[in-house]
Structure 1
Amino acid sequence: MNGALGKGVVERVNGIKRQNVSDSESSTEVEVVIGKEHLHANGVFSNVYRAVLYSPVKQNIAIKKVWPNKAAPDAAQREIELLSKMKHENVISLLYKFKIGGGNDVCQCLVLDYLPVDLAKLRLSLPGRKFDRLDAKLYSFQMFAGVDHINSKGVTHCDLKPANLIVDPKLGILKIADFGSALITHKNQKLESYQVTRYYRAPELVFGTTNFDVYVDRWSCGCILAELIMGKPLLAGKDRIDQGRVIIELLGYPDSEALKAMKVSRPRLSRKSARGVKMMTAGYDMPPEVEDILQKILVYSPNRRMLPSQVISHSYYNELRTIPPPIRENGREIPPLNYWIIEDKTQSDRA
């Protein structure tokens, strides 16, 4: 396994390779040993592999390989830069980066934390396809904590959904993943409105705004929280037009003040009265505390949506703060959680 340092793979023996990489924090070049690499998930412009990092520290890792994309040639580099800003236990960590290939066919490789399953697949594997009461609370708490950190950096994830929340079901740990769509957003910035997977897309995006901010992530989180408890998406439109229809079914037709806040024109959809969160979630054992949270997040005016830091200080999550810690269905205590956010709010000034 001894070999001179050079670019790319130094040596490969029995599926184990020594690879020169850049450390995500210092950007210095180091040599790592990687093995047991297997395809974990694939996409249009990237594949994710699970592997084992043997050196410098042994741990399970994910390697995201991003191939050139003519439509978004800087997407991989942007994802690397944004991930480098993130240092939080509920946000996936970029450990190392390296490139393979050459010329016009360079593949950017991101070495990341590995957690075995995403929240969407996990839900579908559960009895009744829904989470038990404590796990819904535990996972949503970590989601809101991670989003607060992301948004505090001026970053909008732009694709929060259960499939982009990775978890270790045994330990009850959640991390926010896949920053391929993430953006640094600010006021008066013109952007593409086609962002976020449909069921979790904020109304301003559904109605066509080109100027949005971190508030779209808050809406997505509200939809995910409801789904964890209901066992199905809250707002499942068949297409973009129908997504607008189900949002109006929830909130009613937006008035002039809401349209101005969303920076959109009047949608050409039927004017209906709001059914509201209570009626839309009836029959799903929705805790009153969650109804309260959803009523404060799922609103038209983006800057009136409840802050993630306010959400996790809500009484709904008091159970997670009890001593001794509550026991999950698998017999394990909940993992240690970071509550500093409540005392030292990170993104409140952006509201």
Structure 2
Amino acid sequence: SFTKNQKNVSKRLNLSIIKDDVTISYMAERVVGTGSFGIVFQAKCLETGEMVAIKKVLQDRRYKNRELQLMRSMIHSNVVSLKHCFFSTTSRDELFLNLVMEYVPETLYRVLKHYSNAKQGMPLIYVKLYTYQLFRGLAYIHTVPGVCHRDVKPQNVLVDPLTHQVKICDFGSAKVLVAGEPNISYICSRYYRAPELIFGATEYTTSIDIWSAGCVLAELLLGQPLFPGESAVDQLVEIIKVLGTPTREEIRCMNPNYTEFRFPQIKAHPWHKVFHKKMPPEAIDLASRLLQYSPSLRCTAERNR
């Protein structure tokens, strides 16, 4: 657990790793993120001056850390890279895992906020550039290590403002999905949660990431979330307002165990009316092909590149 004064302590936090008989020291400079998982520092390598991000998470001694295992298996230009890792303890004998990762200064969330604060839309060239790289990263994690991220959202897409390179980050919810093995359905941040998860599906596929990425694309085009639900049920209402009421067959595709069918019959809202009139038809077409009720009908990340 993290105390409030830990933000103040961070500047004095000196972390040293011995790797290949060479000591690498990091000085934490500021806190860049906090959550239920722990805390993320921006830190500087004292030997080289290189900036890094250090994610510090409380570690259960009984289990291996899944995020560490997955990050070690992934090397791709659109996935944040792991540089080192080390364990540290506190006076209360709590064990912390420290993941040292490359530092990328911005997130897609903050870039979007910049444009909305300026009352501007994101230029389409950047929408294309960021979306392409997001799908390129997803195509890699879905096929090479076979990983499902399970929390794709603008906050977890890093952006270098100088090069416009995009990197997927935060694999704290990620998992290698195995056919036939159940998974938890209460996963993914609400606005980006695929409908099958809201229906309580436990045998889902990497297509939940495709839905989330479709929501991110729509948000880049709109400048605000497409489905801003205030609860799990309201989330489904927001989706139905755009896609219309799912058919029995679509519900079966999302979760075969879900037999209740008490939804108001609402017609689908035409996709071209969701976006402004000058929106290129190919952008609308892509969003509509990603945001489908039936998981198997959504495009794969490979096809979207």
TM-score tier, shorter chain, comes to 0.7 to 0.9
SS in 1 for 2:119: helix
Deviation above 3 Å: which 4+ runs of structure 1?
Answer: 14-18
The answer for the alignment partner of 1:111 in structure 2 is 100
Determine if the alignment matches structure 1 residue 289 to structure 2 residue 286: no
Q: How does 1:79-94 map to 2 (within 5 A)?
A: 79-94=67-82
1:37 aligned to 7, 19, 29, which one?
29
The answer for the alignment partner of 1:348 in structure 2 is none
Q: Distance in 2 between matches of 1:84 and 1:208?
A: 31
The answer for the alignment partner of 2:110 in structure 1 is 121
Would you say the 8 A contact 1:45–1:68 is kept in 2?
no
1:237, CA displacement in angstroms? Answer: 1.2
Determine if the alignment matches structure 1 residue 64 to structure 2 residue 64: no
1:251, CA displacement in angstroms? Answer: 1.8
SS in 1 for 2:209: helix
Would you say the 8 A contact 1:21–1:97 is kept in 2?
no
Q: Any gaps of 5 or more consecutive residues in structure 2?
A: 1-10
The answer for the alignment partner of 1:275 in structure 2 is 269
Would you say the 8 A contact 2:199–2:255 is kept in 1?
no
1:59, CA displacement in angstroms? Answer: 2.1
1:210, CA displacement in angstroms? Answer: 1.4
1:69, CA displacement in angstroms? Answer: 6.4
1:186, CA displacement in angstroms? Answer: 2.1
Q: Distance in 1 between matches of 2:290 and 2:60?
A: 35
Identity of aligned residues (%): 34
Q: Any gaps of 5 or more consecutive residues in structure 1?
A: 1-13, 23-27, 313-351
1:29, CA displacement in angstroms? Answer: 7.0
Determine if the alignment matches structure 1 residue 181 to structure 2 residue 173: yes
Q: Distance in 1 between matches of 2:139 and 2:255?
A: 24
2:226 aligned to 215, 229, 234, which one?
234
2:54 corresponds to which letter in structure 1?
Answer: I
TM-score, with structure 1 as normaliser: 0.77
Q: Distance in 2 between matches of 1:114 and 1:267?
A: 47
Change (3 A) 1:207 1:231: same
1:241, CA displacement in angstroms? Answer: 0.6
Change (3 A) 1:211 1:15: same
The answer for the alignment partner of 2:299 in structure 1 is 306
1:268, CA displacement in angstroms? Answer: 3.4
1:248, CA displacement in angstroms? Answer: 1.5
Would you say the 8 A contact 1:146–1:175 is kept in 2?
yes
257-266 vs 81-90, which deviates more? 257-266
Q: Distance in 1 between matches of 2:123 and 2:187?
A: 30
Change (3 A) 1:77 1:274: same
Change (3 A) 1:267 1:82: farther
Q: Distance in 2 between matches of 1:69 and 1:121?
A: 32
1:271, CA displacement in angstroms? Answer: 2.1
Determine if the alignment matches structure 1 residue 141 to structure 2 residue 141: no
1:252, CA displacement in angstroms? Answer: 1.9
1:256, CA displacement in angstroms? Answer: 2.7
1:129, CA displacement in angstroms? Answer: 5.5
1:130 corresponds to which letter in structure 2?
Answer: G
Q: Distance in 1 between matches of 2:261 and 2:95?
A: 43
SS in 2 for 1:194: coil
Change (3 A) 1:182 1:248: same
245-254 vs 87-96, which deviates more? 245-254
The answer for the alignment partner of 1:244 in structure 2 is 236
The answer for the alignment partner of 1:130 in structure 2 is 121
SS in 2 for 1:209: coil
Change (3 A) 1:44 1:222: same
SS in 2 for 1:128: coil
Change (3 A) 1:63 1:267: farther
1:36, CA displacement in angstroms? Answer: 4.9
Q: How does 1:332-343 map to 2 (within 5 A)?
A: none
Q: Distance in 2 between matches of 1:94 and 1:59?
A: 14
1:177 corresponds to which letter in structure 2?
Answer: C
46-55 vs 112-121, which deviates more? 46-55
Would you say the 8 A contact 1:94–1:113 is kept in 2?
yes
Determine if the alignment matches structure 1 residue 77 to structure 2 residue 65: yes
Change (3 A) 1:125 1:175: same
Would you say the 8 A contact 1:207–1:267 is kept in 2?
no
Would you say the 8 A contact 2:71–2:81 is kept in 1?
yes
224-233 vs 118-127, which deviates more? 118-127
Q: Distance in 2 between matches of 1:21 and 1:209?
A: 45
1:21, CA displacement in angstroms? Answer: 5.0
1:193 corresponds to which letter in structure 2?
Answer: S
The answer for the alignment partner of 2:254 in structure 1 is 262
Change (3 A) 1:43 1:271: same
